[in-house]
Amino acid sequence: MKEKQLGLTPAMGWNSWNTFTWDINEQLIHDVADKFISEGYKDAGYEYIVIDDCWSLKERSKEGKLVADPEKFPSGMKALADYIHDKGLKFGMYSCAGTHTCAGYPGSFEHEFQDAELFAEWGIDYLKYDYCFKPRYISGELLYKRMSLALKNSGRDILFSACNWGADNVYQWIRESGAHMYRSTGDIQDNWDSIKNLSVSQLDKECYTGAYCHNDMDMLVVGMYGGSNNDFIGSKIGGCSDNEYKTHFSLWSIMGSPLMIGCDIRKANQITKDILLNQDIIAINQDIEGRGAYRIKPEPQWFNADDAFMLVKTLTNGDLAIGFFNLSDSQRELSLQFWDMGLPYASGISLSMYDCWEHKEIGVFKERYAPVVPAHDCIVVRAKLVK
Ligand code: GLA
């Protein structure tokens, strides 16, 4: 019997790529699974532990099967899946729609059904599916349909995480393919410009996200502080301030992106944990109807709206999640008029606001609310309609 809820809300978990890239092994994955339990990540909703690229040998076996690198994973993938499942968690792996993965390991092109069968045998619950080395004579749309069908018929519930970086008008065909989430951006880097550019690039894509097929803005860099072993991601130029990481987590949450942690959670400090484990923010991301957020430009309208704006997400119980985002380099007052959210003054209805970072009630407001937000920072409230 299939689990009907697979992919209903954005996936939550951890992925090895941002911090470790090629340097992955069995012990690391065990440690991450242990931390998921001891540090409260599992209780907060994080579920999937995902090994990204570089887990296999460079060649398939004589039978054409993918082979886990025996030096990195001496006990094999089935044993690793068992370890993760024993903790009540789920196990994710990585492959590619092309002939090779982005790091040059074998991809699943023309091996889709065979690989899906192997992943199911190993006990995999999640497959991230990349887009490198895709032969130009075949459409990506078809290749994602192939793997989706293969996974859905593998005999196991496997969440399908497509990763074609927003290319080839993916928004127009990915939901029909059967994928549960799809990367809609290029790769994130552990710096403020990357966070800002990725989120602004997705503001007009929110209409495509929703339950069972979520717009994925890439893995989180919260808590990395430049700690990647990869120059591109940010070992040389990387690292953000705690406020920038808080803003990043708020944007990804309210915009409905999957929340895949990318830092080394074995070493996460208290501030990183306070961000990643914020239940009020996670509740907005995991709201069951999974609606995208709409943007409101602050008054007055001559304001530069691309780096200072409000995002509003309509929640299942009638509340509104409202993020006041100031991505600019100086402090701003962000003025929200309630009529922009469908609340006329004449209705006599006010908003009772709860601050999701301070974890306290702010008060009841009529007609407008205009907080001053520091540079690169945000305020996220949950607003209840009251008479
Ligand atoms: C691509 C993906 C990344 C990561 C790497 C692995 O760049 O977008 O998320 O999976 O490949 O090589």
pLDDT tens per residue, range 255-284: 999 999 999 999 999 999 999 999 999 999
> What are the extents of the domains in the chain?
12-285, 294-386
Is residue 187 flagged as an active site residue? yes
How would you label 322-340 residue by residue, b for 16+ Cβ within 10 Å and e otherwise?
Answer: bbbbbbbeeebebbbebee
Other beta carbons within 10 Å of 117: 18
Going from the C-alpha of 12 to that of each of 121, 139, 321, the distances in angstroms are: 23, 29, 19
Instruction: Choose one of 130, 131, 194 to mutate for the ligand 1 pocket test, by most ligand atoms within 8 angstroms of C-beta.
Output: 130
pLDDT on residue 1: 46
**115 annotated active-site:** no
* CATH, domain range 12-285: 3.20.20.70
Separation in Å, CA 316 to CA 138, 208, 312, 356: 41, 18, 13, 17
Residue 24 burial (CB count, 10 A)? 20
CB-based burial, 242-257: b 16+ in 10 Å, e otherwise: ebbbbbbbbbbbbbbb
Structure tokens at 162: 């497509």
Taking residues 244-259, report their average pLDDT.
98
Q: What is the mean pLDDT of the chain?
A: 96
Which of 16, 18, 95, 102 should be mutated for ligand 1, with most atoms under 8 A from CB? 102
Q: Is the CB of residue 215 less than 8 Å from the CB of residue 292?
A: yes
Angle, helix 76-86 to helix 26-38, in steps of 10 degrees: 10
CATH number of 294-386: 2.60.40.1180
CA of 52, closest atom in ligand 1: 10
Q: Taking the model in full, what pTM does it have?
A: 0.97
Query: Which residue lies with its CA nearest to atom 5 of ligand 1?
Result: 102
Q: What is the pLDDT of residues 91-141, one digit of tens each?
A: 999 999 999 999 999 999 999 999 999 999 999 999 999 999 999 999 999
- CA of 60 from ligand 1 middle (Å) equals 20
Ligand 1 pocket member 51 (CB < 6 A): no
238 confidence band (pLDDT: 50, 70, 90): confident
User: How far apart, in whole angstroms, are the C-alpha atoms of residue 95 and residue 98?
Assistant: 9
Nearest residue by C-alpha to atom 1 in ligand 1:
102
